């Protein structure tokens, strides 16, 4: 099961994460993505959400991300959480417009 919310800021991120926790997801199943890596890292640290790493992506995708554009990396991370290619493309476009994506995934 994958649940995705498009949000504007850290306050909405906190509210969305709390909503996902009430719905039965754990902190380890909630991920936050922003187009700018610094913003993504800052919000992830501030909200105590999980990072998308080796266990979610596997060795190949984790290494490949070093050589990918940020957009390609984000789409690959979303795919590793259970989103389809068209969904990942649509949400990456939202990220291009400054939005933040919160994903709750029991797939990863």
Tens-digit pLDDT profile for residues 9-45:
888 988 999 999 999 999 889 888 888 777 777 777 7
Q: Are 52 and 80 in contact (CB under 8 A)?
A: yes
Predicted TM-score of the model (pTM): 0.76
In this prediction, residue 31 carries a pLDDT of 87
In this prediction, residue 108 carries a pLDDT of 52
Closest CA to 100 of 24, 5, 26, 18: 5
In this prediction, residue 7 carries a pLDDT of 92
CA distance 3 to 25: 10
Tens-digit pLDDT profile for residues 45-82:
777 776 554 444 444 444 554 555 677 888 888 998 99
């Amino acid at each position: 099961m994958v649940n995705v919310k498009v949000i504007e800021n850290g306050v909405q991120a906190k509210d969305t994460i709390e909503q996902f926790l009430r719905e039965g997801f754990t902190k380890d199943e909630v991920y936050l993505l922003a187009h700018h890596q610094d913003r993504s890292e800052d919000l992830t640290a501030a909200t105590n959400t999980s990072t998308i790493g080796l266990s979610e992506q596997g060795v190949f995708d984790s290494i490949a991300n070093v050589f990918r554009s940020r957009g390609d990396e984000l789409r690959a991370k979303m795919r590793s959480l259970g989103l389809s290619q068209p969904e990942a493309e649509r949400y990456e476009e939202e990220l291009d417009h400054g939005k933040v994506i919160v994903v709750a995934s029991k797939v990863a």
